[in-house]
Amino acid sequence: MSVNHLIQFMAVAQGCRNREELLLELEKILDVYRFDYYGIVRNPKPDQNPLSLVLAGRWPDKWPQVYVTKKFVLIDPAVRYLAQAHRPFRWSEALPAFKDDPHFKRMQRMMTDAYKFGLEEGYIFPILGRGGLLGNMTMGGRPVELSPIEIMLFDSVAKCAFWRMMELSGEADILSSVPKVDVRLTRRELEILNYLGEGMTSHEMSKLLEISNHTVDWYVNELQDKLTAKNRQHMVALAMRLGLIH
């Protein structure tokens, strides 16, 4: 497979006059690489349904309805792994990261359902800005082996497609601005917030920091109050939007 298609996309994307032209060019290279399905999504606010922020996509028939009905958005390992990933990764890499998670069996069932719909394997590319995670592009279907250089170029394609869509919709300047941070956190609170962003449990943090579980939970409760968060996941999402963690 030639990487020239990827390089060419980045050259022509800026000349696309509307969303339809941009997606036509993007889908050409996805077809060349035999990726049957894809999605470009903005990172949701904590109380938003991510499917409402899908900028573009091509999915198996009825899969979006199944995804919503079974509330997979709450446990999707790839989506959750995005909170701690700073690089592209394969879908199959995400699940093992949550082997100790209480929702691990639900995650496995979700991946089994996805496989039945033809979503066997794929890649996901985080779109990061100065304020944290802004969105992602994912693509998959049948297993496709990409070389390291192809992954690097697809990462650039994902960023190019995402930002060009934002420019065409007039949202690029708003999205790239850094939110004002008026939350004052102590060094220890920032430390714990970063560990939460990495998916660590209270027990893991207590061992690492050599403090009790109770003390860790006290800091977590303080952080929830300061960020007015509903729970830990909500808190991490808010912290990323505020640029407190990356």
Q: Same domain, yes or no, for 94 and 152?
A: yes
Q: Same domain, yes or no, for 27 and 148?
A: yes
Low-confidence ranges of the chain (pLDDT < 70): 1, 44-52, 130-131, 172-182, 243, 246
Q: Same domain, yes or no, for 154 and 43?
A: yes
158, 127 in Cβ contact below 8 A? Answer: yes
Residue 64 has what pLDDT? 92
Which residue range(s) make up the domain with 191?
187-241
pLDDT in tens, 155-213: 999 999 999 998 888 876 656 555 555 577 888 898 899 899 888 999 999 999 999 99
Tell which of 176, 199, 231 closes a domain: 176
Q: Same domain, yes or no, for 143 and 232?
A: no
Question: β-strand 132-141 against 121-129: which pairing, if any?
Answer: antiparallel
Q: Same domain, yes or no, for 223 and 142?
A: no
142, 121 in Cβ contact below 8 A? Answer: yes
Please enumerate, as own/partner, the contacts of 211-214 that have beta carbons within 8 Å and a separation of 24 or more.
none
